[in-house]
Amino acid sequence: MKKMNSIFISPEKQGGHNITETISLPSELIIPVQQHIGAPPEVKVAVGSEVKKGDILADGDAPMCVPVHAPLNGTVKEIYDFVLSSGVRTRAIKLLVTGAGEDNFAAPKVESKEDFISFVRSIGAVGLGGASFPTHIKLNPQKDVDTLIINAAECEPRITADQREIVENSEGIINGIRLIKKYTGVEKVYIALENREKEEIELVKELIREEEGVFLSLLKPTYPQGAEKVLIYNVTGRIVPEGGLPMDAGVIVMNVSTVGLIGASLISGAPLMRKRITVGGDCLKEHKNIFVPIGTKIKDIAEYFGGYIKEPAAILLGGPMMGQAVYSDEFPIMKNTNAVLFLSEKALGKRKESECIRCGRCIKACPFDLNPVFLADAYENRDEEALKKEHIMLCMECGSCSYVCPASRHLTQSHRLAKTFLKERSAKKNGK
């Protein structure tokens, strides 16, 4: 394989050079307890409980479990069933906010790898770029790894939260790099950044100037440049095997904001309680980055921006390519939310789906040289063997095939359903 396919998308990065603002204090927060891949934590508070900023709201003993903390002072008003945008059912805590709370956390004592992994888990760290994989698991791989790639390549249009992380939390990032190098033993660290981000490039160069084994990797501004497997190949030339993980290629990949969180939290002792998110879309007057407490409702964000100037036809958590639509602006910001986009019918550019014209654009756009049309047809026919033979599980649902399709076919949606279909078939065969 000489290269992985990519497509060019308009490099619209509005608001990337403005200082991150902090939203007004919301009156209540909705905090789902399942905010990571893995075992859901158990609720540790009761209705009527008074909680302080940083208190643990939910936690569990399973290895793939991560605690959830109170972002502000408040009173637990309700604990109820909640449906995430993925369709997963979990529990949620409604917290009536009584105050901002104090930042009087104690810096942890970290003297060993065990201390470090325990600390990372204790702050509720997950992948902040969208995947929400528990960070303490990622930093304790069961295979030898020699390379850390820090993903700062925000390849989706509109999103600039990671740009601001580099500018506003450079001390946290370099501190996080030093900690991860020390306690995981990685030999090389690459900070992957798109070559158009001039200010951030100069900042990173200065940041790593005297850091041994830390390098800047400049990438073309194409999509999906920031996707994990694509990033590994373009930075190191290594290929993650089908069904494998980055550690199978000797690599750990972390979002730059996750690294910054670890470095900053070791100094302050503060857990993950707020997120920097990019907010925009044609239904708002402005496009900027803001800090919000985790659990802030989307409608409170819209109100901070002065309300809607036109009715949203869709609200996306994440970017326009891989973001998930939510069913209401009552939905909260989660740990892995990096953007909220309010889009009108016109911005969505909806077109009627028509028959495939066999142009081959989807094949050229796929990063893994899959045949999206064939896979979509195989799913429609529920052809399990064909889906396996054509490697449907390699699809990362980046949306490139749907984006370039002149027939407006819902290819990515079909692939997502096809993967679920195969998983269900496999579980049924195994008696699960």
Are residue 148 and residue 253 in the same domain, yes or no?
A: yes
Supply the pLDDT for residue 400: 93
Query: Sign (positive/negative) of CA torsion 70, 74, 80, 81?
Result: negative
Q: Is the pLDDT of residue 1 over 60?
A: no
Domain boundary residue, one of 225, 241, 268: 268
Are residue 372 and residue 263 in the same domain, yes or no?
A: no
Residue 129 lies in a domain: yes
Residue 176 lies in a domain: yes
Given strand 147-151, what is the order of strands in its sheet? Answer: 214-219, 188-194, 147-151, 251-255
Are residue 117 and residue 264 in the same domain, yes or no?
A: yes
The domain containing residue 406 runs over which residues? 361-429
Are residue 369 and residue 235 in the same domain, yes or no?
A: no
Residue 31 lies in a domain: no
Residue 262 lies in a domain: yes
Are residue 367 and residue 261 in the same domain, yes or no?
A: no
Give the pLDDT confidence of 138-189 residue by residue, as tens digits.
999 989 999 999 999 988 888 999 999 999 999 999 999 999 999 999 999 9
Supply the pLDDT for residue 13: 58
Give the pLDDT confidence of 234-292 residue by residue, as tens digits.
999 999 998 899 999 999 999 999 999 999 999 999 999 999 999 999 999 999 999 99
Residue 234 lies in a domain: yes
Are residue 256 and residue 389 in the same domain, yes or no?
A: no
Are residue 117 and residue 241 in the same domain, yes or no?
A: yes
Q: Is the pLDDT of residue 368 over 60?
A: yes
What is the residue type of 146?
A: D
Are residue 118 and residue 262 in the same domain, yes or no?
A: yes
Write the DSSP symbol of residue 223: B
Mean pLDDT of the chain: 93
Supply the pLDDT for residue 164: 94
**Total domains, the chain:** 2
Residue 238 lies in a domain: yes
User: How far is the C-alpha of 142 from the C-alpha of 382, rounded, in Å?
Assistant: 36
Give the pLDDT confidence of 309-328 residue by residue, as tens digits.
999 999 999 998 998 999 99
Q: Is the pLDDT of residue 8 over 70?
A: no
Instruction: Give pTM, 2 decimals.
Output: 0.92
Supply the pLDDT for residue 429: 84
Domain boundary residue, one of 233, 268, 303: 268
Query: Could you tell me the pLDDT band of residue 432, with boundaries at 50, 70 and 90?
Result: low
Q: How far is CA 281 from CA 10, 286, 295, 334, 343, in A?
A: 15, 8, 21, 19, 5
Residue 398 lies in a domain: yes
Please, what's the largest Cα pairwise distance for the chain? Answer: 62
Supply the pLDDT for residue 358: 92
Residue 221 lies in a domain: yes
**CATH code of the domain containing 155:** 3.40.50.11540
Are residue 228 and residue 370 in the same domain, yes or no?
A: no
Domain boundary residue, one of 240, 268, 296: 268
Are residue 367 and residue 258 in the same domain, yes or no?
A: no
How is 344-377 classified by DSSP, letter by letter? -HHHHT-----------HHHHH-TT---HHHHHH
Instruction: Please report which helix (H) or strand (E) contains residue 84, including its range.
Output: none
